[in-house]
Chain A
Amino acid sequence: MPLLLRLVAKDLRRKLRSPLALIVALAFPLVFAGMIGLAFGGGGAVPKVRLLVDDEDGALLSNAVASIFTSRQASPYFDATTVDAATGRAMMDEGKASALLTIPKGFSSDLLDGRPVTLSLLRNPAEGILPEIAEQTAGTAADLLDGARRVLDKPLADLRPYLREGSRAPGDADIVAIALAVKRSLESASSLVFPPAITLESDPKAGAKAKGGPTTSAIFLLVLPGVAVYGLFLVADQGMRDIMTERTLGTLRRQLAGPLTPGLLILGKAIYTAVLSLLSLLVIAAAGAAALRGPIDVAAFALVSLALILAVTGVAASVYGLARTERQGSTLGNMVFLAMGFLGGGFIRVESLPAVLRGVAPFTPLYWGADGYRAILEHGAGVRGVLPNVAALGSMGVVFLALGIGALHRAARRGAVA
């Protein structure tokens, strides 16, 4: 068995006998992504806004407002119930609803007469987001009604006499006249309303997602690339840190007293680190594949993975090349990897970072690794799509590896490592 192979096999056997640190490093991305997936996924069970509507007006336009929340279209988001004032208050006191919307008496007539109207919304302070949704929706409804009233001012004025209590029903001629007035009002406003300045196109996929909400596995896969790459840096840290562990054990010195050059020994440790990272990557990839719903480009995945392994090995070698002791290396490694985790989009997507930090992100290998995997998983990128990532990771890996091995080699030659 070649010497290098013996060195790597020995280190892997040792790691196998004492795997706790590796298991923790491997479990971190899976547990982290899994927890986020469980918290924000939920597989279609989107919580609804439990809205109580107290329609004290009971007229045409107040009914229209209430129907915004009780309509079939709103049913995935709102569980609206019509109540009287006392029942609504009681239910709110018991925390049985997200919000209570009160439409005051005279709402319809005031709106028709152009007088200011007020809708009141009582929010449940125990809930954060759901009452906010109710408030935003009610506000939008109020704006909509106000706009409609302004556009349809003339036909509404014609309609007003028939809406009063005890008034006679409109005749056919009246209905035709009002319909024509509505048509003319809409036509006169059409230059302002049509074509719409913003067109919303519904994506069938997005629609499907919106119907059921994002699943746990979808969120898991959304989060996994960033934390997985971060986890891989932790694994590589363990690999290269072993050179310092062996120094403490005295086995490094003993090996250097044998027929080994310092260069071969350090190369052996770098290969061990790369193998350890590869095995870890396979475990994480297997977990990711279990959550995957469609095919991905395996060649692109393999390319990014190989380049990433080179990069994590290089960065870890550099950290321990700079360190003089195991503790120093461990502290430096934790600082570097954590900073990269935040800057490179390991925990928070780069798009969500402040502009200054977004500019720094591409200088970290973690960014290129996470970005490459996201491109493959989220956008179906192939080999061509991830070539920039592979090039960036590969070149960073070569540079860091050369720096790290060079520093460790110099330390070994002057006796500092042994």
Chain B
Amino acid sequence: MFRVQGLVKSFGPVKAVDGVSFEVAKGELYGLLGPNGAGKTTTMSMMSGLLAPDEGRILFDGIDLALRPLEVKAQLGVVPQETALYETLNARENLRFWGGLYGLSGKRLEAAVDRVLDQVGLKERAKEPVKQYSGGMKRRLNLALGLVHGPRAVLMDEPTVGIDPQARLNILAAVKSVAASGTTVIYTTHYLEEVEDLCDRIGIMDHGRILAEGTLDELIRRVGGREVVTVRGGFDAEALRAKMGVLPGVQVTSSGSGKLVLSVDGSGRAAVELLGRVLAEGLPLEGVSIQPPSLNALFISLTGRELRD
């Protein structure tokens, strides 16, 4: 359904997106996982037609977005990262307006409004001005606005940022129900557990590039059953790198500024041997962490840092 080919977008000297390509099949829930500044939102802005890419193209059902933007946009739903609502209007009025923009009217519009109000659990308070809503309710309405016209695909850009755990669970449940109805969803987040819980396939992004892509199982297999050991302290990481890199079953992923990240054989012996050698060096250690094979471990092994860094 979506084919993204070689997207590049720069803002002045900064290359926000650097050759991103991926495909999303019809009915698939595709997650773009990456830390803040990875280029997820810029990619979504280009996919929703708000930003023109410097290079590359986006095809939706074979239609080039750059050539026939209105035709593509009419079939998409967009749920932006910030809550984009008219706070003086109530939920029903907001939904009527956005549904109307996509050509719905009369009974079809009213039925669509009722459907999404049900979907996000706001029917009881649909006549209250939005300014009286809690943050979580606004987030749910924000989601509903992207769904009211029954889009074939929805672009959701970090829809759970800044909300409490209960509201987050409500949003995730709504996203699952959207996906279950056969709507294609492209979902960006920097929460590992969200993509693990929701997504059929995941693309891991950092520094404007997709570093790895696949299902959760495929990605974890890609870690190769290896653990990631991170050693922190006031030592010369480059000197330590030279010493540890020669150990059997140990690969150095990255080093620098008092931090050494190593990928070790998941059997456990390699990690024990590694730690023994580190301690034997008598280095001023501040901490050691061991990540079992996981998406986070993959991210660390790919980037040398954690998602939250």
Q: Is A260's CB within 8 Å of the partner chain B?
A: yes
Indicate which residue in B49, B51, B93 contacts A13 across the interface (CB closer than 8 Å).
B93
Q: In residues 67-126 of chain A, which contact B (Cβ within 8 Å)?
A: none
Q: Is B267's CB within 8 Å of the partner chain A?
A: no
Give, as a whole number of angstroms, the nearest-CB distance from A412 to chain B.
10
Which of the segments A149-157, A247-255, A332-340, A356-364 contacts the partner chain? A247-255
Q: In the complex, are the beta carbons of B86 and A6 less than 8 A apart? A: no
Q: Is A204's CB within 8 Å of the partner chain B?
A: no
Q: In the complex, are the beta carbons of A3 and B89 less than 8 A apart? A: no
As a 0/1 sequence over residues 64 to 86 of chain B, the CB contacts with chain A under 8 angstroms (1 = contact) are: 00000010011010101011111
Give, as a whole number of angstroms, the nearest-CB distance from A112 to chain B.
85
Tell me the bound Cα distance from A13 to B105 in angstroms.
Answer: 18
Q: Is B233's CB within 8 Å of the partner chain A?
A: no
- Specify the main secondary structure of chain B where it touches its partner: loop
Q: In the complex, are the beta carbons of A258 and B101 less than 8 A apart? A: yes
Q: In the complex, are the beta carbons of B86 and A10 less than 8 A apart? A: yes
Q: In the complex, are the beta carbons of B74 and A257 less than 8 A apart? A: no
Q: In the complex, are the beta carbons of A14 and B89 less than 8 A apart? A: yes
Q: In the complex, are the beta carbons of A257 and B85 less than 8 A apart? A: no
Indicate which residue in A18, A258, A415, A418 contacts B88 across the interface (CB closer than 8 Å).
A18
Q: In the complex, are the beta carbons of B105 and A251 less than 8 A apart? A: no
Q: In residues 154-185 of chain A, which contact B (Cβ within 8 Å)?
A: none
Q: Is A1's CB within 8 Å of the partner chain B?
A: yes
Residues of A near B98 (CB, < 8 A) are: 254, 258
As a 0/1 sequence over residues 155 to 189 of chain B, the CB contacts with chain A under 8 angstroms (1 = contact) are: 00000000000000000000000000000000000
Known: A13-B93, A253-B80. A260 touches B101 (CB 8 A): yes
Q: Is B234's CB within 8 Å of the partner chain A?
A: no
Known: A3-B101, A260-B101. A254 touches B84 (CB 8 A): yes
As a 0/1 sequence over residues 1 to 35 of chain A, the CB contacts with chain B under 8 angstroms (1 = contact) are: 10100100010011001100000000000000000
Q: Is B102's CB within 8 Å of the partner chain A?
A: yes
User: In chain B, what residue has the closest Cβ to A255?
Assistant: B101
Indicate which residue in B70, B88, B93 contacts A261 across the interface (CB closer than 8 Å).
B70
Q: In the complex, are the beta carbons of A17 and B97 less than 8 A apart? A: no
Q: Is B204's CB within 8 Å of the partner chain A?
A: no
Tell me the bound Cα distance from A261 to B76 in angstroms.
Answer: 15
Residues of B near A59 (CB, < 8 A) are: none
Known: A256-B50, A259-B73, A415-B50. A14 touches B80 (CB 8 A): no
Q: In the complex, are the beta carbons of B97 and A10 less than 8 A apart? A: yes
Q: Is B268's CB within 8 Å of the partner chain A?
A: no
Q: In the complex, are the beta carbons of A250 and B80 less than 8 A apart? A: yes
Known: A6-B100, A257-B48, A257-B50. A249 touches B85 (CB 8 A): yes
Q: In the complex, are the beta carbons of A6 and B97 less than 8 A apart? A: yes
Residues of A near B50 (CB, < 8 A) are: 253, 256-257, 415, 418
Q: In the complex, are the beta carbons of A250 and B100 less than 8 A apart? A: no
Q: Is B129's CB within 8 Å of the partner chain A?
A: yes
Q: In residues 400-418 of chain A, which contact B (Cβ within 8 Å)?
A: 415, 418
Tell me the bound Cα distance from A6 to B105 in angstroms.
Answer: 11
Indicate which residue in B73, B84, B88, B100 contacts A14 across the interface (CB closer than 8 Å).
B88
Q: Is B143's CB within 8 Å of the partner chain A?
A: no
Q: In the complex, are the beta carbons of A249 and B86 less than 8 A apart? A: yes
User: In chain A, what residue has the closest Cβ to B149?
Assistant: A258
Q: Is B4's CB within 8 Å of the partner chain A?
A: no
Residues of B near A1 (CB, < 8 A) are: 100, 105
Residues of A near B49 (CB, < 8 A) are: 256-257
Residues of B near A253 (CB, < 8 A) are: 50, 80, 84
Known: A6-B101, A10-B86. A254 touches B70 (CB 8 A): no
Q: In residues 31-75 of chain B, which contact A (Cβ within 8 Å)?
A: 48-52, 70, 73-74
User: In chain A, what residue has the closest Cβ to B78?
Assistant: A257
Indicate which residue in B48, B76, B82, B93 contacts A250 across the interface (CB closer than 8 Å).
B82
Tell me the bound Cα distance from A249 to B88 in angstroms.
Answer: 12
Tell me the bound Cα distance from A239 to B114 in angstroms.
Answer: 32
Give, as a whole number of angstroms, the nearest-CB distance from B14 to chain A.
15
As a 0/1 sequence over residues 321 to 351 of chain A, the CB contacts with chain B under 8 angstroms (1 = contact) are: 0000000000000000000000000000000
Q: In the complex, are the beta carbons of B129 and A254 less than 8 A apart? A: no
Q: Is B145's CB within 8 Å of the partner chain A?
A: yes
Residues of A near B51 (CB, < 8 A) are: 415
Q: In the complex, are the beta carbons of A17 and B129 less than 8 A apart? A: yes
Give, as a whole number of angstroms, the nearest-CB distance from A370 to chain B.
33
As a 0/1 sequence over residues 91 to 121 of chain B, the CB contacts with chain A under 8 angstroms (1 = contact) are: 0010001101111010000000000000000
Tell me the bound Cα distance from A3 to B86 in angstroms.
Answer: 17
Tell me the bound Cα distance from A150 to B295 in angstroms.
Answer: 117
Chain B positions within 8 Å of A, measured between CB atoms, are 48-52, 70, 73-74, 76, 78, 80, 82-89, 93, 97-98, 100-103, 105, 129, 145
19 contacts between A and B (CB under 8 A): A3-B101, A6-B100, A13-B93, A17-B89, A249-B84, A250-B83, A253-B50, A254-B78, A254-B80, A254-B84, A254-B145, A255-B101, A258-B74, A259-B74, A259-B101, A261-B70, A415-B51, A415-B52, A418-B50
